[in-house]
Amino acid sequence: MTQTRTTAGNAGFTLIELSIVLVIIGLIVGGVLVGQDLIKAAEVRSTVGQIEKYNSALNTFRTKYNGMPGDLLSTRAAQFGMTARSGAVGHGDGNGLEEGCSAGALVFGCELALVWMDMSFANLVDGSYTAGSDALTTVAAGTQATFFPSAKVGRGNYVTVFSAGGLNYYEITGITSTTAAGVYTLTTALTPNESFNMDNKIDDGAPGTGIVTGLLSLTTINTAATYAGGDACVASAASYNNGTAVTAATPACQLRFRFN
């Protein structure tokens, strides 16, 4: 008797099936990348909106209390029950400038801490900022959010204020701590691409000009970067260092916005 052996062929994917799978994988990867770009764009928009909201809150405060938050005259602050200040230079002197314990001081404390405390007292900003005082302030690592608003862009960025050249500024920067003498320890936590997009939405998109400027220096809050030779944040006074995908996405910047 003759036996018949049946051999089953090995099933495999056809080229059409493989093509469909590759197309699906490509769509998934593309969707993830587009989603990441949308998230980053939303963070930038939110941060720009945050600064605009602070400008609006500051002007509302000035109209209501007849003075700048932080810089509000000591007598007027006492009248409304705000945190006490001495009235000396940088201590609620009413000169219209946000100063750190003395004229032109680069350290955190006094008016630079009181500004957020006053805005919080007036219910004009989100969050409760009650940890500062009319003195040099130590900010321990991990407690930054009790002194400074967190920037919507994330990555350890906070919003602080200062004055330079007779003008007031917000600065978005990575703040890790301050010393007992109020000296900031900073990090460059914004990417050139984020900095450009924020600058471009509010101003001229150039780091060296206008009401929004890019900075690299970590030694002080209110010193502009030197743009002549270019650095990790800016390629020149006219452009941020976002010429390649790698440099554009590398945290290397701080950004300052003039009050308006």
Helices (H), 90-178: 111-121
Site of tokens 């002080």: 220
Q: What is the pLDDT of residues 176-231, one digit of tens each?
A: 999 999 999 999 999 999 999 999 999 999 998 999 998 876 766 756 556 666 78
**Helix spans in 140-238 (H):** 192-202
Q: Look at residue 33 and tell me whether its pLDDT is greater than 90.
A: no
Residue 178 near residue 172, CB atoms below 8 Å: no
Domain that holds residue 50: 41-258
Instruction: Establish if 83 belongs to a structural domain.
Output: yes
Outline where 159-256 has alpha helix (H): 192-202, 245-248
The answer, yes or no, to whether residue 13 has pLDDT greater than 90, is no
Residues 6+ apart with CB under 8 A from 201: 44, 45, 48
For 133-173, how does the pLDDT look when each residue is reduced to its tens digit (9 = 90+)? 999 999 999 999 999 999 999 999 999 999 988 999 999 99
DSSP state of 257: E
Task: Please name which of 101, 150, 144, 143 lies closest in space to residue 125, comparing C-alpha atoms.
Answer: 150
Q: Is residue 182 part of a domain?
A: yes
Instruction: Locate all alpha helices (DSSP H) within 66-187, ordered by sequence.
Output: 74-80, 111-121
pLDDT tens digit sequence for 245-256: 999 999 999 999
φ and ψ of 243, to 5 deg: -70, -25
pLDDT of residue 225: 57
pLDDT for residue 9 is more than 70? no
Q: Which residues pair with 109 in a beta bridge?
A: 136
**CA torsion sign, 215 to 219 to 221 to 222?**
negative
Distance CA 203, CA 191 (A): 17
Rounded Cα distance, 76 and 100, in Å: 19
29-33, 123-127, 220-224: lowest mean pLDDT where?
220-224
Residue 146 lies in a domain: yes
Q: What residues contact residue 196 under an 8 Å CB cut-off, 6+ apart?
A: 205, 207, 239, 240, 242
Q: For the chain, how many structural domains are there in total?
A: 1
